[in-house]
Amino acid sequence: MHVVQEQACFGGRQIRYQHDSSVLNCSMQFSVFLPPQAEQGPVPAVYWLSGLTCSDENFASKAGAQRVAAELGLALIIPDTSPRGEGVADDENGAYDLGLGAGFYVNATQAPWNKHYHMYDYVLSELPALVEAELPLSGKRAISGHSMGGHGALVLALRNPERFVSVSAFSPISNPSDCPWGHKALGAYLGDNRQMWAHYDASLLLVSKGCTLPILVDQGEADNFLHEQLKPQALVQAAKQANADLTLRMQAGYDHSYYFIASFIEDHLRFHAKHLG
Amino acid sequence: MHVVQEQACFGGRQIRYQHDSSVLNCSMQFSVFLPPQAEQGPVPAVYWLSGLTCSDENFASKAGAQRVAAELGLALIIPDTSPRGEGVADDENGAYDLGLGAGFYVNATQAPWNKHYHMYDYVLSELPALVEAELPLSGKRAISGHSMGGHGALVLALRNPERFVSVSAFSPISNPSDCPWGHKALGAYLGDNRQMWAHYDASLLLVSKGCTLPILVDQGEADNFLHEQLKPQALVQAAKQANADLTLRMQAGYDHSYYFIASFIEDHLRFHAKHLG
């Protein structure tokens, strides 16, 4: 991996890297924030998964997370949201919710997507192995994300609780088997067999596997996508059934934007720092 | 003026407005952050002037200023950087440093610019009169800005000390009479007479008029524009001559970006809050 850009930020370093991903079969960029404490020795990491249309740059530039990460000594690892580049399939109509910028953190099984769209394996394995080999990281991990990325964070943590100490999400797509975004993306990437979809549905996974990790979710009440796409109540019901440690905070007046994330990212980083020790 | 967009942010409201500017002779957008305290009564305001290529949205989305503004009870008033719209002159080669996005906070006297490019009067008079009539603002004002906007903030405060209680800047164009950006813009907007330029040169104004306001300037040492365009030492020399209250902080490792602004905006807002009382 090589540095594309590096900038001082809150006494630490905001860095953009490029590397050749063998899992995704293309060249990828991702962003990292290293807090000042990383100059002294290995630090734990919070992985951040972004939502539809985002790259690794949105969270880095808009969430204001580096201030608290610098205080708490947390690295931030921010992957892109899909494979990229020439030859990577995209939706033929250029839809924002399928293809480029919309990888949904799954391993696609259907053509033409299965050639590159393996964001699940990329975020779970290839990217952590790479950054933990190259950067001063302790190997302790938490994970968070927004919308499609909140879905990704929950799915990755629920299926791999040994890999993370805690998970949080902003406005996650909580039950993608039962919303238009999920139908479209899971149908395209995984085919029509809904048993395949269940491996990527946080509410179904919570019931089938339970969860020992603490889960924090923030959801804006003025979010336009709340009732049709996000459905946090499905997650609450599942957590009740599974007796899981889920805190859902409904935030009055807040929408789906980065102004919402910026307003509450401090709480999420402090939540993860407590569990990262 | 009417609301284009309104979003909850740190317990306050981030709002984008549109209005017809008679000074600029076109329709303009600007952004405002109203802190939670504005629900109870009038609050003081910090005006923020952005740099080349920016609109009102860059500072609103990237600086993370709303968190501290919400704590301190400060409104943020964020104008655009030039007149906009069909019929507004632009550089014929589409240069980033002249025309649209590059108004330099002057009143242009030269054609074709003099039809719309009156950003000095707009920011000094029309915009404050508008927002103070329509929003819960106390009329107490401080002013800050970045690069071209740092130049604008200093010039506006130095020429109108009765309008502001304090002024600050990030990486300001400190001596535009003596740098390529300034030569190009002041020459185009004001013509070849350098006596006209002196009305828009913070270092020359500081010597000729002095300054009773406290001035805070942050400048990154790794800023690519430092030596050729920004020249903060001219400001320091002028302040010494004028016996002015200038604090210049050289920040090791920081560049010209919003990561730099985000890292130190809290200090600037606390500086202004102290003087706003």
pLDDT number for residue A83: 98
Using CA atoms, how far apart are residues B241 and B205, in angstroms rounded to an integer?
Answer: 11
How far apart are the CA of A71 and the nearest CA of chain B, in angstroms?
Answer: 12
Chains A and B form CB pairs within 8 A to the count of 68
* Chain B residues close to A32, C-beta within 8 Å: none
Instruction: Look up the domain containing A157 and give its range.
Output: 2-276
Binary contact (A8, B255; C-beta < 8 A): yes
State both tokens at A115. Answer: 């050639």
How far apart are the CA of B265 and the nearest CA of chain A, in angstroms?
Answer: 11
Q: Which of B56, B223, B268, B272 is catalytic?
A: B223
* Catalytic residue flag (residue B199): no
Nearest to A104 by CA among A74, A121, A122, A82: A82
- Residue in A with minimal Cα distance to B6: A255
Extended beta strands in chain B, E state:
2-9, 12-21, 26-34, 43-49, 75-79, 137-145, 167-170, 215-220, 246-251
Q: B248 and chain A: CB distance < 8 Å anywhere?
A: no
Q: Which of A31, A50, A144, A147 is catalytic?
A: A147
How far apart are the CA of A159 and the nearest CA of chain B, in angstroms?
Answer: 33
Cα angle vertex B113, ends B109, B119, to 5°?
Answer: 80
* Chain A residues close to B34, C-beta within 8 Å: none
* Catalytic residue flag (residue A116): no
Q: B64 and chain A: CB distance < 8 Å anywhere?
A: yes
Q: What is the CATH number of the domain that holds A218?
A: 3.40.50.1820
Using CA atoms, how far apart are residues B51 and B230, in angstroms rounded to an integer?
Answer: 12
Q: A260 and chain B: CB distance < 8 Å anywhere?
A: yes
Residue type, A135: L
Condensed to tens digits (0 to 9), the pLDDT of residues B144-202 reads 999 999 999 999 999 999 999 999 999 999 999 999 999 999 999 999 999 999 999 99
Binary contact (B255, A7; C-beta < 8 A): yes
pLDDT number for residue B159: 98
- Residue in A with minimal Cα distance to B253: A8
Beta bridge partners of A21: A26
Q: How many domains does chain A contain in total?
A: 1
pLDDT number for residue A219: 98
**pLDDT tens across the length of chain B (277 residues):** 999 999 999 999 999 999 999 999 999 999 999 999 999 999 999 999 999 999 999 999 999 999 999 999 999 999 999 999 999 999 999 999 999 999 999 999 999 999 999 999 999 999 999 999 999 999 999 999 999 999 999 999 999 999 999 999 999 999 999 999 999 999 999 999 999 999 999 999 999 999 999 999 999 999 999 999 999 999 999 999 999 999 999 999 999 999 999 999 999 999 999 999 9
Q: B225 and chain A: CB distance < 8 Å anywhere?
A: no
Using CA atoms, how far apart are residues B127 and B3, in angstroms rounded to an integer?
Answer: 15
Residue type, A185: A
* Catalytic residue flag (residue A257): no
Percentage of residues in chain A with pLDDT exceeding 90? 100
How far apart are the CA of B231 and the nearest CA of chain A, in angstroms?
Answer: 21
* Chain A residues close to B58, C-beta within 8 Å: none
How far CA B212 is from CA of B160, B164, B206, B239, B242, in Å, comes to: 11, 11, 10, 11, 10
